[in-house]
Structure 1
Amino acid sequence: MEKITFDAMRNYILENELTDSVAISLHPDSFDELVMDYLDFNGNQIERPFEILGVEIRQDNTGNVVRSYIHTDSTLQ
């Protein structure tokens, strides 16, 4: 995915039928782009934890997720 936008992320979640059993990790640059697009869409309001359609969106701080790539993690123990 070239640029991760709010619409693209929402479509990705719907198309892949993701639920709250997963979380999405994004490269810090992709995370920042998504947050800025989300703020524009949602009137400069954001909740913590950051979720779209009930799926938590996280910033990767490990350096393992490349830019413009969506990485899913199971939240089940």
Structure 2
Amino acid sequence: MEKITYDAMRNYILENELTDSVAISLHPDSFDDLVMDYLDINGNQIERPFEILGIEILQDSTGNVAKSNINVLDAVE
């Protein structure tokens, strides 16, 4: 994915039939791009935790997620 947008993330979640048993981790730059697009669409309002279609979206702090990649994490402990 070249740039991760709100519409692209919604489509990814739907196409892959993701449920709330997972979370998505994004490179910090991709996370920022997604948040900015989300804020534009939702009138500068964002909920914490940040979720799209019930899937929590996290900013990668490990350095393991490449820019424009999506890392699906198992959220069930």
- Identify the TM-score tier after normalising by the shorter chain: over 0.9
1:51 is matched with 51
How far, CA to CA, are the matches of 1:17 and 1:43 in structure 2? 27
The runs of at least 4 consecutive aligned structure 1 residues that moved more than 3 Å come to none
Extract unaligned runs of 5+ from structure 2: none
Normalising to structure 2: TM-score of the pair? 0.99
2:17 is matched with 17
Extract unaligned runs of 5+ from structure 1: none
Normalising to structure 1: TM-score of the pair? 0.99
Structure 1 residue 17: Cα displacement: 0.3
How far, CA to CA, are the matches of 2:62 and 2:53 in structure 1? 25
> Cα RMSD between the aligned structures?
0.3
